[in-house]
């Protein structure tokens, strides 16, 4: 979390990050690289280049326009020579085996801990370092890239845009003509479901084409279902679900549920008839040994329920039961009771009045009688309450040295629960000591060899303390529930030194 939020922000912040990325991800978003911002270097790709055909200039124009926005939204590019080589080693083979072998691609590693990959028209493909950390072999990474290439060659971005435009016209017609709100809601919901399913069909198609390309390029086609399985296990760990609970996503999501997608991937991989495709687990693990895991130092660190920012010099802690998500724009947290938190910078000039800031119009439904000055950890602060659109809000603004930061809490549920979590979190805000600042370091993936007698439980204890660490260890290493690593094999652990 870095930067400040100006007064243009409002309490309609739940979808702020999604809105900021809507255009980029709608082009060909997938899953929820380089020494500069241009992706893998020309030298790396030249070794396996294929003849280039004629690219659509509109494709290239879209990609060139959106590329800087995507890089900025995902925290910049991630510079790691070995990680770049892990990507470059598969691109040429996949392109040659793809439906359009004349096409050129530009692959960028984004400096984000999220597990994500997507593509733009013109052959711009993006993978996050979080995705590279989760993958366990070269075939899995190749599966992700071939899937994104399939989106490009199938021109899913344009098909999606055409479908969305038609849906928008239909929705507007319903709103203009139909007066009954109930009929409007049913008609609009039907349009949404149709549009969502259209994108789900695209994802399944990209899986089918991508796996066929994967096998044709000589990689293990089962790398695709393996990686999808690891994704579901990581999601189960992050969301506090039972191990191996793949669950299902919202029916309006643009992606098929994990069970549906995994079942198809297994079937398509089996249908290729390839049983001895390249996996390259050891080679891949060697290349990602030392890759950053989790938060970038510039964004602060999440350690359990704490958020600590060495460069800005402060920390706070959320109550038990909250899951923290640190993004480049804000720190977000939610719990099972339906309470959501956002922490970010406030655009308050040094020496200006905090009460005036709260009263300046950016808070929807502000209760002006609730606005008051307080002291938090000896720091000047102001707090307020608000209610709007069915939500109850609690807000705090804290002045810390020459900057100001704000906590925003919201719920549709019990206001008493909101008050207790808000009070506990805000009261935990504090300055970091010099010793604490010096002790903080980014987490990294380290590859170790499993010794005789070692288990998932003992290896998880070698990692930095993590909630349900053994489940995370298994997810990172492609192990199912209760499965144990075999002695002599290499596995990933998370360390801070």
CA atoms within 13 A on the CB side of 434: 0
pLDDT at 258: 65
Question: Looking up tokens 């007064």, which residue turns up?
Answer: 7
pLDDT at 340: 92
Q: What is the edge-to-edge ordering of all strands in the sheet holding 340-346?
A: 323-326, 331-334, 340-346, 403-411, 391-400, 379-388, 366-376
| CB contact at 8 A, 345 and 5 | yes
Q: Which long-range contacts (CB under 8 A, 24 or more apart) does 51-54 make?
A: 51/101, 51/102, 52/102, 52/103, 52/104, 53/100, 53/102, 53/103
Q: Provide CB contacts within 8 A for 433, sequence distance 6+.
A: none
d(CA 175, CA 76): 41
| CB contact at 8 A, 373 and 424 | no
CA quadruple 337, 231, 150, 269: dihedral, nearest 10: -130
| CB contact at 8 A, 75 and 112 | yes
d(CA 321, CA 303): 14
| CB contact at 8 A, 394 and 422 | yes
pLDDT at 123: 83
Q: Provide CB contacts within 8 A for 185, sequence distance 6+.
A: none
Name the residue among 382, 359, 370 with its Cα closest to residue 415: 370
pLDDT at 309: 95
Domains of the chain are 31-283 (no CATH), 299-438 (3.40.1000.10), 442-495 (3.10.350)
| CB contact at 8 A, 160 and 27 | yes
| CB contact at 8 A, 92 and 142 | no
Which pTM value belongs to this model? 0.73
Name the residue among 130, 131, 121 with its Cα closest to residue 66: 121
| CB contact at 8 A, 129 and 108 | no
Helix (H), strand (E) at residue 476: helix 469-476
Sign of CA dihedral 181, 183, 185, 191: negative
Angle 181-216/81-97 helices, nearest 10 degrees? 90
| Mean per-residue pLDDT pooled into runs of 10, the chain (497 residues) | 42 33 32 35 33 61 83 90 92 92 90 87 88 97 92 64 42 41 44 47 85 96 94 85 60 53 92 96 97 90 92 95 85 88 90 91 92 94 93 95 94 90 96 93 96 97 90 95 95 93
């Amino acid at each position: 979390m870095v930067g400040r939020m100006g007064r243009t922000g409002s309490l309609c912040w739940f979808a702020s990050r999604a809105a900021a990325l809507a255009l980029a991800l709608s082009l060909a978003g997938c899953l929820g690289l380089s020494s500069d911002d241009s992706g893998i270097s020309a030298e790396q790709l030249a070794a396996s280049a294929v003849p280039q055909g004629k690219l659509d200039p509109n494709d290239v124009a879209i990609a060139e326009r959106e590329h800087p926005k995507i890089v900025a939204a995902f925290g910049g590019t991630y510079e790691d020579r070995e990680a770049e080589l892990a990507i470059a080693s598969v691109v040429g083979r996949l392109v040659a085996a793809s439906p359009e072998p004349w096409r050129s691609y530009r692959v960028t590693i984004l400096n984000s801990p999220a597990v994500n990959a997507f593509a733009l028209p013109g052959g711009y493909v993006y993978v996050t370092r979080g995705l590279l950390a989760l993958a366990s072999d070269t075939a899995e990474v190749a599966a992700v890239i071939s899937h994104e290439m399939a989106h490009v060659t199938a021109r899913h971005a344009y098909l999606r845009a055409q479908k969305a435009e038609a849906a928008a016209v239909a929705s507007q017609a319903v709103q203009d003509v139909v007066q009954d709100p109930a009929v409007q809601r049913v008609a609009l919901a039907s349009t949404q479901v149709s549009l969502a399913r259209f994108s789900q069909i695209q994802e399944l198609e990209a899986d089918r084409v991508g796996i066929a390309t994967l096998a044709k390029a000589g990689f293990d086609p089962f790398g695709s279902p393996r990686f999808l399985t690891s994704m579901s296990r990581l999601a189960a760990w992050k969301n506090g679900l039972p191990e191996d609970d793949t669950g299902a996503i919202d029916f309006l999501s643009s992606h098929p549920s994990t069970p549906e997608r995994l079942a198809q991937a297994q079937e398509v991989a089996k249908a290729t008839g390839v049983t001895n495709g390249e996996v390259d687990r050891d080679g891949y693990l060697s290349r990602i040994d030392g890759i950053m895991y989790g938060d970038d130092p510039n964004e602060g660190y999440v350690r359990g329920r704490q958020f600590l920012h060495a460069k800005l010099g402060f920390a706070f802690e959320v109550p038990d039961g909250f899951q923290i998500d640190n993004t480049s724009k804000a720190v977000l947290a939610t719990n099972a009771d339906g309470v959501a938190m956002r922490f970010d910078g406030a655009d308050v000039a040094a020496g200006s009045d905090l009460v005036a800031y709260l009263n300046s119009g950016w808070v929807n439904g502000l209760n002006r009688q609730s606005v008051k000055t307080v002291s938090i950890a000896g720091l000047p602060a102001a707090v307020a309450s608000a209610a709007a659109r069915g939500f109850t809000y609690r807000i705090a603004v804290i002045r810390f040295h020459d900057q100001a930061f704000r906590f925003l809490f919201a719920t549709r549920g019990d206001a008493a629960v909101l008050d207790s979590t808000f009070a506990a979190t805000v009261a935990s805000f504090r300055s970091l000591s010099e010793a604490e600042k010096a002790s903080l370091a980014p987490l990294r993936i380290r590859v170790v060899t499993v010794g005789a007698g070692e288990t998932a439980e003992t290896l998880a204890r070698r990692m930095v303390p993590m909630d349900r660490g053994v489940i995370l260890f298994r997810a990172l290493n492609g192990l199912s529930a209760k499965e144990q690593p075999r002695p002599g094999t290499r596995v990933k652990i998370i360390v801070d030194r």
